[in-house]
Amino acid sequence: GTDDLGRDILSRLIYGARVSLLVSVFSVGLAFVLGTLFGALGGYYKGKLDSVIMRIMDMILAFPYLLLAIVVVAYLGPSLRNAMLAIGITYVPRFARIVRGSVLEECEKDYVTSARSIGAWDLRIIFIAIFPNCLGPLIVLNTLSFDSAILDAAALSFLGLGAQPPDAEWGLMLSNGSKYLRAAPHLSLFAGMAISLVVLALNFIGDGLRDALDPKVQRF
């Protein structure tokens, strides 16, 4: 069918999938890069640097993710780009804490001591020696964060702070169709179903990766 302006709903759903996946990839990618950098530096150098970084992460975690994203978008201005930036910023602490914990554990192992003893640079030790051993939990966290980013982006668009008309984005389609729920519920129904199915699929992928990469899981 078509929406209130005569636009094909199926075409907009398909195009909206590109937008939602782009938002999730960009937001999670930004959080991954910044969180990995801050977490690795804090876990490796410890001391005052670690305390400052973790206190900043705690301050961000003190606010609900969506509320903080709304504050950031309200300051920067409503747009899809600013929504992606806001979601990425709110996700940084979850990556930083995971990386910091993994780096603290890896720093106690012999290969790190050996690398230090031969005079390897700190950045080389962090990103060449230690970081590959921290990828397991990060891959799982990346996958599980994609669905949260899609939901948050849809929520921001629904509130008018994300994608703007005439963009085809699932949250915006939900918002536009909410005015006609009694007369034409399909305007919102299909966008909601698309969000639910994609989030469910990403959760299944994340659970599968967690089971595959967790060394504590017994395989027969």
Copy the structure tokens of residue 55: 């206190």
* DSSP code for 161: S
Q: What is the pLDDT of residue 213?
A: 67
Per-10-residue mean pLDDT for the chain, 220 residues long?
A: 82 89 91 93 89 92 87 88 91 92 88 86 86 83 87 89 85 86 85 90 82 57
* DSSP code for 79: S
Torsion angle, alpha carbons of 132, 136, 137, 140, to 10: 130
CB 153 within 8 Å of CB 171: yes
Alpha helices by DSSP H, listed for the chain, are: 9-45, 47-61, 65-76, 80-106, 110-117, 122-124, 135-158, 170-177, 186-213
Residue appearing with tokens 């609900």: 64
Q: What is the pLDDT of residue 220?
A: 46
Q: What is the pLDDT of residue 35?
A: 93
CB 78 within 8 Å of CB 162: yes
